[in-house]
Amino acid sequence: MPEKKQPTLILTVRPENILALTTLLQRGFLVPCRGPVTLTELLIDLLGFDQKYISKSIETIFINGCACDSLEQYIFPSTSVALSAAMPGLAGAIFRKGGAHASLRSQPVHKSLPREATAGFITVKLFNMVATDKGEELLTKGILVKGSILSRFFSRQQERLRSLDLVIRHNAGTLSLKDAVHWAATHHHIQFSVDTCEYIPSNH
């Protein structure tokens, strides 16, 4: 897949506030993919997860909205993958990978074989402890997101984001939060990252 330079957007926050931004990961970010890979391969190669964390901490997997039991499930470009730690209650028991109550699922996912490689993106969504455990590393390294997703995140989280006293920068300068909503909506994909600063001037 040819590399294409994407517009960039950088949020600067105080170090203690970066975890407040990890809820963005629930909405999904894009991982380039040239063809079929297992979920384990995707995470280790592209996201920096190690084998121990993947095996021990990822308890619930949804692929295109359906529960999955295997980290060796093949996934393809255009697939959506949601990962979380253990969910509470009966729902957690039903959807936990390899759980005793897996038979109660209405839409089980069966392991599929690789098909001919086609380049594209896999959408990855992270929830609860997986998002907080890996969110800071992902956000500081940078993630690729759809502009529409980022715009809605800014729009719906305006009050909470203002309380973080952040600075928003893009390719050409700084943006207000209100302007960032509109700017993000005009771009298909955005390279988004977060950096930290102990002191953010109040008149930024």
Taking alpha carbons only, the member of 188, 192, 166 closest to residue 177 is 166
Give me the amino acid identity at 148.
Answer: S
Q: What is the per-residue pLDDT for 3?
A: 52
| pLDDT over 50 (residue 157) | yes
Which of the residue ranges 71-85, 92-106, 139-153 would you say has the lowest mean pLDDT?
A: 92-106
Inter-axis angle of helices 147-156 and 177-185, to 10 degrees? 150
CA dist., res. 172 & res. 169, Å (int): 8
Q: Each residue of 4-28: pLDDT tens digit?
A: 679 999 999 999 999 999 999 999 9
Q: Each residue of 129-146: pLDDT tens digit?
A: 999 999 999 999 999 999
Q: What is the per-residue pLDDT for 141?
A: 95
Q: What is the per-residue pLDDT for 127?
A: 93
DSSP designation for 86:
P
Give me the amino acid identity at 82.
Answer: A
| Element holding 124 (H helix, E strand) | strand 120-126
| pLDDT over 50 (residue 110) | no
pLDDT band at 88 (very low <50, low <70, confident <90, very high): very low
CA dist., res. 49 & res. 56, Å (int): 11
Q: What is the rounded average pLDDT for all residues in the chain?
A: 83
Percent of the chain with pLDDT over 70: 80
pLDDT band at 200 (very low <50, low <70, confident <90, very high): confident
| pLDDT over 70 (residue 125) | yes
Q: What is the per-residue pLDDT for 102?
A: 44
Cα of 161 vs its chain's centroid, Å: 18
Q: What is the per-residue pLDDT for 199?
A: 79
Q: For residues 68-74, give the mean pLDDT.
A: 85
